Amino acid sequence: MAKKGKEKDRGKAKKAKKAATQPMPAMPEREKVGFGIVGGGVIGPLHAQAITAQPDARLVAVCDIVPGAAEKLAGDYGAEAMTDLDAMLSRDDIQVVSVCVPSGLHAEIGVRAAQAGKHVICEKPIDITLDAADRLIAACDEAGVKLQVISQHRFGAGMQRLKQAINDGALGTLVMGNAEIFWYRAQAYYDSGGWRGTWALDGGGCLMNQGVHYVDLLRWAMGPVASVTAKVGTLAHERIEVEDAAVAVIQFANGAIGSLIGTTDAFPGYTCRLEIVGTEGSVILEDGEIKAWNLKAEVGEVGAYGRSKEAKRAEASQNGKGTGQGAADPAAISWGGHAVEVRDMIDAIREERAVALPGPSARDALELILAVYRSAETGREVKMPMHPKWRPGTKKVAVVAIPPAKKTPPTRRVAAARAGAP
Ligand SMILES: NC(=O)c1ccc[n+]([C@@H]2O[C@H](COP(=O)([O-])OP(=O)(O)OC[C@H]3O[C@@H](n4cnc5c(N)ncnc54)[C@H](O)[C@@H]3O)[C@@H](O)[C@H]2O)c1
């Protein structure tokens, strides 16, 4: 009897193992969540990868005003290329639209998508003015569709662990939060697209475009901002209207203080760094990786003068290995974070719940960046909240610019070289 029972069990286990190793039956195409991408430039392909990596999603169409851009991206993923947004939005096999156009067009395209009943995944920043961000948020609310804004670094393991520790009170009372974006963009980057470096479509420079990721992490970690004092400058690039260097001092509403340093001048491109200090410990992230995690409850108190020099040196030698993705090449970004947000959107639709990074949460980083610009323009401390209608770039920013190098006329240069000058 016992032998028979064992055989029966072995049979059951065999069956279960076979079932687990069998590939899941493929989901019929019509049951998959259909996606459309608007904008087939640098970031569009990352959305395509993130979407097509989901077993229950399919990329239906790519729309771009440049036919070649739509055809290339659509062709790579077996999707349909389109140039007419209204035609794309009228399709009932598309439920979600990824907005991958220049930043100053996010709300315009997103509002049209929402009004057509599509859920919206919007690239960062949510838009470049609070007014536009509010229009997009309101349009999605009114249409009853979801709005997920991309800020992929929030979903890295290091940042998730840090946020959880802050929420759990493991860092104690927050005292200081600093973010540093120490990147490089060559002049060729700004020259590569008519919209780059413009107030009208980029909406800002090293903070609004590149820095927004870590501004978002800082704001998410530290909470609401009370006031900002800042200086910005356009110091190492030509033919751009926006800042390539920014420094700000932040007063957070919870009493903590902090700083923000951003640049695209730091050749050849270094890391992004987030430092959070609380009364019970401190954490440092570099390009999303935990570089230091020291909680008093875990490591115990150290001497009156902090850690020994040897311990500090040992940690310092662990730092600075390699540069973060995107530090020098904007296209060299992993699509893993995008995939997390695409996955979350699909689950949110199926489970009828809110998305992980809704519009109002993304608006916070935009407001902080605009406060930096306003402070730099006025030379004054800016108190929050920012007026939704305010936009930067209308006043010349008061910065000390480096005088352009004097160009020696070629004839004189030749004469000087002949005369033996270096
Ligand atoms: N999350 C990230 O890490 C990340 C990285 C890069 C860019 N971005 C963001 O993605 C957005 C796009 O940046 P990019 O570098 O891909 O720009 P890009 O210039 O390379 O591509 C933009 C594309 O949009 C198309 N386009 C412009 N107006 C359009 C319209 N009205 N309708 C349809 N298509 C239109 C252009 O023809 C172009 O192909 C920006 O907001 C940027 O901030 C995010």
Q: What is the pLDDT along the chain (422 residues), one digit of tens a residue?
A: 344 444 544 454 455 445 444 555 678 887 999 999 999 999 999 999 999 999 999 999 999 999 999 999 999 999 999 999 999 999 999 999 999 999 999 999 999 999 999 999 999 999 999 999 999 999 999 999 999 999 999 999 999 999 999 999 999 999 999 999 999 999 999 999 899 999 999 999 999 999 999 999 999 999 999 999 999 999 999 999 999 999 999 999 999 999 999 999 999 999 999 999 999 999 999 999 999 999 999 998 888 888 877 776 666 555 434 333 477 776 677 899 999 999 999 999 999 999 999 999 999 999 999 999 999 999 999 999 999 999 998 765 444 444 555 554 444 433 433 444 33
- Which candidate, 149, 156, 157, places its Cα nearest to that of 132? 149
* Shortest-distance Cα residue to atom 27 of ligand 1: 101
> Which ligand 1 atom sits closest to the C-alpha of 39?
24
Is the beta carbon of 42 within 6 A of some atom in ligand 1? yes
Is the beta carbon of 45 within 6 A of some atom in ligand 1? no
3-state secondary structure of 182: strand
94: tokens are 């598309």
Is the beta carbon of 336 within 6 A of some atom in ligand 1? no
Superfamily of domain 30-153, CATH level 4? NAD(P)-binding Rossmann-like Domain (3.40.50.720)
> How far does residue 100's CA lie from ligand 1's centre (Å)?
5
> Which ligand 1 atom sits closest to the C-alpha of 150?
1
- Which candidate, 205, 59, 210, 199, places its Cα nearest to that of 121? 59
Alpha-carbon Rg for the chain in angstroms:
25
Within the chain, which residue ranges are assigned CATH 3.30.360.10?
154-333+359-383
CB 110 within 8 A of CB 81: no
53: tokens are 């990596």
Within the chain, which residue ranges are assigned CATH 3.40.50.720?
30-153
> Which ligand 1 atom sits closest to the C-alpha of 109?
31
* Shortest-distance Cα residue to atom 25 of ligand 1: 39
* Shortest-distance Cα residue to atom 4 of ligand 1: 43
Peptide bond into 102 cis (omega under 30): no
Is the beta carbon of 100 within 6 A of some atom in ligand 1? yes
319: tokens are 């730092």
> How far does residue 45's CA lie from ligand 1's centre (Å)?
10
Is the beta carbon of 393 within 6 A of some atom in ligand 1? no
Confidence at residue 29, expressed as pLDDT on a 0 to 100 scale: 82
Range 154-333+359-383 has CATH code 3.30.360.10:
yes
